Amino acid sequence: MSLKRKDLTGGDPLHLQTDVLVLGGGPAGAWAALSAVQSGARVVIADKGYLGTSGATAPSNTGTWTVPPGDNRAQIIERRWQRTGNLADQRWMLRTVDQAYENLLKLAEWGYPFPDDEDGKLYIANLRGPDYMAFMRRRLLRAGITVLDHHPALELYFDGEAVTGAAGMDRQRNRDWRVDAGAVVLATGGCAFNERILGAATLTGDGHLMAAEAGAALSGMEFTGKYTLAPFGTSLNKGLPFRWASFYREDGTPILDSDGNHLQNGIGEREKEIAKAMIDAPVYAILDQAEPALQDWLRRGQPNCFVPYNRMPVDPFHDLFRVTFRAEETVRGTGGIRIASSDCATDVAGLYVAGDAASREQIAGAASGGGGPNSSWAIASGWWSGQGAASHAKRRGVRAFRHNSSALGQAGLRPVSATKVSLTPKDVIDSVRAEVTPLEKNYFREGNRLTASSEKLDAIWSDVKHHLAGSGLDRLKAREAAAIAASGRWSVTAALARTESRGMHRRSDFKGNDKAFSQPITLRGIDEITVSTAIYGHQEIAS
């Protein structure tokens, strides 16, 4: 079935109609689009970058959480659940690994070149990001899906009953676009707060803001304290090699752990001690715990991890080099848009969510879902959201295009008052980052510091709401800054509300778990944020 499309010349706006519109071209968006078209829907997918190369998966190797059918599935799920801070749901965990396993087998059937393991069996537990996403792009095009590259979405449309599409801009042709749709899937990724990490340039929380403007809730936004070691001055947030690291000061003095031993292994429990040491003074490392055979394996298996060292040039196995922590926020944290049903619908009709844009508390709880769980979640949630969106579009039928719909975008697009030339997106982002990325504020949290950050973020948001806007292509930068500012407020608001320590949420003033918080904290609203917890009921925090 063909799309309705106007004859286009030059900078004329692009206007399409479709059944399902997917925003975001990472793995979750790609799987959502394929699922929707398999369900009989016409599908358009719009990506902020070039679908196949943008996003966190494309530049990386990524493991999958692979659990084949068998008698030990329940035990495997139980063991991982024990690491989630009692917040994950084993039913969601089981259905996620089942759907991901089924879809990985589909990939093999479609011709994706999985390698064989040592026993000659198909090894589906790892995906090479560049190959994976290039393969998915070809699959989308073969399925007849309309792919809009470099078409960032700026806002959703709503007709009073349901979300009915989205609008944005075509960065290459310098024109606006609008797609009217029977349903929309947000697969826009997490919010990295403009942190310099692999594939995060487009991950600015746009979907979170668009969903909240439509009335959707968020959940798990306090679980943003995920950091990964990287060579200082680089974006290489690949922590695996640091398992074999020893840590030093600049003059070669060994850094000691709390037991007086030389601090080694930068993954797991030792991470906290490295973070404390880094707050005090610069930290250096050598990967001197790796034997020669392991060194060769690391270089061959993770070649991109060694590009920064080659440029320095440094031999990381023998030379001292400075390290830093890169904040991964909701990308490898678990917070995001709240899922309201098994098909990944939000609590707003016509709006679905998948991948890192969604809260992943169902499968990861208070722990990071980074790597395997998030990869499998992208596959599974993408599949379910595509089916759900196609079903919703079919139920609405032609009614989806009979109603007058209104644009929902506000902050960064339509300021309440006159714009201020002196208020720039960069200034906004830098001010937000000062409150949500430093180790002493976000890794180690404390009530008074959180309150001070909350007050600063409220003031930033007031400026954004009243005075920030852009014109032409600069609208995207303003909108990204607004999304980052909103996400910062949600994160700190949730962190203040969770008066305990659990997983990656660490409160020095509330060091233990509180059983009363063995459930998600839900947020709703933008200017006034409503916090819902069983212990507090509902409270409103005004900007």
* Domain assignment present for 125: yes
* Domain assignment present for 304: yes
Q: Are residues 41 and 176 in the same domain?
A: yes
b/e code 399-423 from CB counts within 10 Å (16+ = b) = ebbeeebebbbbbbbebeeeeeeeb
State which amino acid sits at residue 396: R
Tokens coding 56: 């966190």
* CATH code at position 158: 3.50.50.60
Give the domain-ending residue among 306, 327, 348: 327
* Domain assignment present for 218: yes
With a pLDDT cut of 70, the percent of the chain lying above it is 95
Q: Are residues 239 and 290 in the same domain?
A: yes
Q: Averaged over 434-442, what is the pLDDT?
A: 98
Q: Are residues 349 and 374 in the same domain?
A: yes
* Domain assignment present for 415: no
Q: Where are the beta strands (DSSP E) in 397-515?
A: 406-407
Number of alpha helices (DSSP H) and beta strands (DSSP E) in the chain: 14, 19
pLDDT score, position 4: 43
> Which whole-number Å values give the CA distances from 42 to 1, 18, 107, 146, 315, in the listed order?
7, 6, 22, 9, 52
525: how many CB neighbours lie within 10 A of its CB?
Answer: 18
Nearest to 37 by CA among 142, 111, 135: 142
Q: What is the DSSP string of 436-448?
A: HSSIIIIISB-HH
Tokens coding 136: 């998915």
194-237, pLDDT tens digit by residue?
999 988 889 999 999 999 999 999 999 999 999 999 999 998 88
Q: Are residues 306 and 368 in the same domain?
A: no
Give the integer Cα–Cα distance in Å for 10 and 434. Answer: 42
* Domain assignment present for 11: no
* Domain assignment present for 5: no
Give the domain-ending residue among 345, 380, 407: 407
Confidence check: pLDDT of 541 > 70: no
First-to-last alpha carbon distance for the chain, in angstroms, is: 47
Q: Are residues 295 and 242 in the same domain?
A: yes
* Domain assignment present for 531: yes
* Domain assignment present for 478: yes
Q: Are residues 139 and 280 in the same domain?
A: no
pLDDT score, position 488: 99
* CATH code at position 484: 1.20.58.100
* CATH code at position 254: 3.90.700
Q: Do the bridges between strand 283-286 and strand 321-327 make them parallel or antiparallel, or are there none, so unpaired?
A: antiparallel
H helix or E strand, kind and range, residue 333: none
Name which of 121-135, 154-168, 293-307, 359-373 the model is least confident about: 293-307
Hey, which of 120-124, 264-268, 288-292, 398-402 has the most confident mean pLDDT? Answer: 288-292
Confidence check: pLDDT of 380 > 90: yes
Q: Are residues 107 and 139 in the same domain?
A: yes
Q: Are residues 334 and 319 in the same domain?
A: no
Q: Are residues 206 and 243 in the same domain?
A: no
Give the domain-ending residue among 379, 407, 435: 407
Confidence check: pLDDT of 305 > 90: no
Give the integer Cα–Cα distance in Å for 31 and 68. Answer: 20
pLDDT score, position 540: 46
What are φ and ψ of residue 17, in 5° steps? -125, 140
Q: How confident is the model at residue 326 (pLDDT cuts 50, 70, 90)?
A: very high
* pLDDT, mean over the chain: 93
Q: For Cα atoms 333, 334, 340, give the angle at the middle one, nearest 5 degrees.
A: 160
Would you call 182 helix, strand, or coil by DSSP? strand
Nearest to 485 by CA among 421, 440, 435: 435
Q: Are residues 384 and 432 in the same domain?
A: no
Domain residue limits at 272:
227-327
Number of domains in the chain: 3
Q: Are residues 78 and 199 in the same domain?
A: yes
Q: Are residues 169 and 118 in the same domain?
A: yes
Which burial class, exposed, middle or buried, applies to 173 when counting CB atoms under 10 A from its CB (0-12, 13-18, 19+)? middle
Give the integer Cα–Cα distance in Å for 303 and 78. Answer: 34
130-170, pLDDT tens digit by residue?
999 999 999 999 999 999 999 999 999 999 999 999 999 99
- Contacting residues for 178 by C-beta, under 8 A, at least 6 apart: 13, 14, 15, 16, 157, 165, 166, 167
98-127, pLDDT tens digit by residue?
999 999 999 999 999 999 888 888 899 989
129-142 and 90-110 are packed helices; what angle lies between their axes, rounded to 10 degrees? 70
